[in-house]
Each structure stands twice: as structure tokens, then as C-alpha cells.
């Protein structure tokens, strides 16, 4: 019986048309009895005419920061590495029109009309997360030098849709307001610990129930620190946008019956710019009108 089965199989192979083996195999597999399992996949296509936002957050980054001796309250090396990783994502997926990052998170906004990965949420999220995570590891030494990366960092992601320009701006405003709130608290907390001599539990008790004005007063009256003079990178986070720049190069050409001469060629290219500015007010959006698409 086995011998007959083998002979029949060989006969089928001899009678096949000379297409590539890969194509024939794929076709057979696609029509196999196991194909029904594809019906278990859920449709995660993102609704059209909506901005797609993929937000990444560091997984258990408090522990990661402690074990890698991040400077408190802000480590510029870590913030710069986050931004470099985000730039890598934007370079890979140029349908991302703006990205905003602070602390251990970054939000990536795909333009409303994008059709990357057929707008599948799982594909968009996993591609952003994998590109970001691998870039974080790849560029680690560029920012931390000989300090060893003790273990791979983890980032989780989510996909959220925003149907209008107003909704998207409110989302980004929320993230920047969150940056301000967290950084003000952390600045006061670590100033009380590092310069005020309090333990972490004492500093936490001191700040319970305080408002923003109270925190500003502690910094100014006790430590002569004006919070408004702190680095915009820490207070406002980082905004990544595409900006057009003109690049000029000189070329030598030789025309028939003429001497060789030099000409200047100017090309317009898109580059990613990292900004530390306010994105809650109107000024930023008026200066960057290409980010938002018409609501109509």
C-alpha cells in the first residue's frame, strides 16, 4: 500500500506543469483542509477617516530605571534614547505625521488617510512596538556608552482612533499636560530628597494634598528654583514632526562644444525635527498646518 501511494505521488509530480515549486506548495497549502482556522482571526481594521494613534509605554520602567541608575528626576540620556527610537519608527513609517513623547512613553499619530497594513490595528501596533524596542537596544551604547544594558526593555502598546482634529489635539494636549503634572511633582519630590535631606517617604508625605501652586512655592521659597526656568525638554516633552529642508549640491556638467562648468542643484527633502514646545495652544498648529487633515 505504501509503495502504491508513493508511486501515485511521483506520477502526480511528473504530470505537473512547470511552475515553481514554491508556488505549487503555497497553492496546495492555501487550499488544504486546515485553512478553516483562518476564520478564527478577528477583523481589527481601523475605522476609516480617523486618525490612528499608537501609544507605547515602558513596561515596568520604574524598575528598569532603578537598575540602570537613571538620574533623578530626569535622565537626559534616557530621554534622548527614547526620541532616537521614535525617530527610527517615523523613518520606517512615514505616514506618521506627528509623534509626542515624555518620560517612558511615546504616541505616534498616523494620518487620517493612511492605508499602511490595510489599517489593521494589530499590524500597526506590533510594527511600531517592535521597531521602537529594537531601536532602543540598538542605540543604547550611543547614549549610555559603556554602561551595560542588563536586560531587554519591554514596551506595551495600544491603538486609539480619533475622528476629528479637535479630538486629536485634545489627546496630545492631555499627554503634554500629563508631562507637566508629573514633572512638577518629580522635580519637587527629588529636590526635597536630594537637597532637602528628606527620605522618600517623608517627601511623599510632605507633598500629599499639595496643588501646583504649593509645589512651585516649595521650590522657590526653600530652594530658590523657578520651575518655569527648568528645561523645556522636561516640562513639555518632545514633539517630532516632518519639516521640509532645502539641500544644495554642486555638480559638474559638460555640454556639447562647451567647457565644463559647475551648477548648483537644490532639492527639497523631508527631515524629522525634534521640538520642545507648547502643543496645547494654537501657535504650534498654525506653524505646522500640514499635520491635520480637513475635517470635512
- Which residue's entry shows cell 542588563? 150
62 marked as part of a ligand binding site: yes
Secondary structure element (H or E) that encloses residue 132, with its range: helix 121-138
Contact 87, 98 (CB under 8 A): no
| Exposed e or buried b per residue across 218-241, where buried means at least 16 C-beta atoms within 10 angstroms of its C-beta | bbeeeeebebeebeebbbbbbbbb
CB 121 within 8 A of CB 46: yes
Alpha-carbon Rg for the chain in angstroms: 27
**Alpha-helix residue ranges (DSSP H) falling in 1-69:** 2-15, 21-30, 61-67
d(CA 277, CA 287): 12
Q: How far is CA 215 from the centre of its chain?
A: 31
Q: What are residue 268's DSSP bridge partners? A: 246
Our measurement of the distance from residue 219's CA atom to the centroid of its chain's CA atoms, rounded to an integer in Å, reads: 33
Order of strands across the sheet that contains 105-110: 155-162, 51-58, 105-110, 96-102, 238-253, 261-275
Is 61 flagged in the annotation as binding?
yes
Size of the chain in residues? 296
* Phi-psi sector, 86: left (phi>0), alpha (psi -120 to 50), beta: alpha
Q: What is the DSSP letter of 102?
A: E
Flag whether 60 is marked binding: yes
Residue 290 among known ligand-binding residues: no
Question: Can you tell me whether residue 217 is helix, strand or coil?
Answer: helix
What gap in Å lies between CA 120 and CA 43, rounded to an integer? 8
DSSP secondary-structure letter at 47? P
Which residues does the annotation place in the binding site? Answer: 57-62, 103-104
Known binding positions for Mg(2+) = 57-58, 104
User: Which parts are annotated binding residues for GTP?
Assistant: 57-62, 103-104
Amino acid at each position: 500500500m505504501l509503495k502504491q501511494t508513493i508511486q501515485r505521488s511521483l506520477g502526480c509530480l511528473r504530470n505537473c506543469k512547470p511552475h515553481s515549486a514554491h508556488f505549487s506548495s503555497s497553492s496546495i497549502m492555501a487550499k488544504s483542509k486546515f485553512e478553516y482556522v483562518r476564520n478564527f482571526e478577528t477583523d481589527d481594521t481601523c475605522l476609516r477617516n480617523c486618525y490612528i494613534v499608537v501609544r507605547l509605554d515602558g513596561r515596568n520602567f520604574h524598575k528598569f530605571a532603578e537598575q540602570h541608575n537613571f538620574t533623578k528626576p530626569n535622565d537626559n540620556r534616557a530621554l534622548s534614547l527614547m526620541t532616537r527610537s521614535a525617530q527610527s519608527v517615523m523613518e520606517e513609517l512615514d505616514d506618521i505625521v506627528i509623534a509626542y513623547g515624555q518620560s517612558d512613553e511615546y504616541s505616534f499619530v498616523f494620518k487620517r488617510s493612511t492605508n499602511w497594513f490595510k489599517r489593521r490595528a494589530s499590524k500597526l501596533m506590533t510594527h511600531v512596538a517592535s521597531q521602537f524596542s529594537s531601536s532602543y537596544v540598538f542605540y543604547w551604547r550611543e547614549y549610555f556608552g559603556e554602561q551595560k544594558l542588563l536586560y531587554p526593555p519591554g514596551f506595551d502598546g495600544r491603538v486609539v482612533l480619533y475622528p476629528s482634529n479637535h479630538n486629536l489635539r485634545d489627546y496630545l494636549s492631555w499627554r503634554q499636560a500629563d508631562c507637566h503634572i508629573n514633572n512638577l511633582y518629580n522635580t519637587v519630590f527629588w529636590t526635597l530628597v536630594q537637597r532637602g535631606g528628606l527620605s522618600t517617604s517623608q517627601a511623599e508625605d510632605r507633598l500629599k494634598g499639595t496643588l501646583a501652586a504649593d509645589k512651585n512655592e516649595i521650590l522657590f521659597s526653600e530652594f530658590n528654583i523657578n520651575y518655569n526656568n527648568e528645561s523645556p525638554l522636561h516640562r513639555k516633552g518632545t514633539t517630532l514632526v516632518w519639516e521640509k529642508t532645502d539641500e544644495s549640491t554642486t555638480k559638474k556638467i559638460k555640454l556639447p562644444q562647451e567647457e565644463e562648468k559647475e551648477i548648483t542643484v537644490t532639492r527639497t527633502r523631508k527631515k524629522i525635527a525634534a521640538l520642545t514646545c507648547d502643543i496645547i495652544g494654537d501657535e504650534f498648529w498654525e506653524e505646522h498646518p500640514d499635520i491635520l487633515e480637513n475635517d470635512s
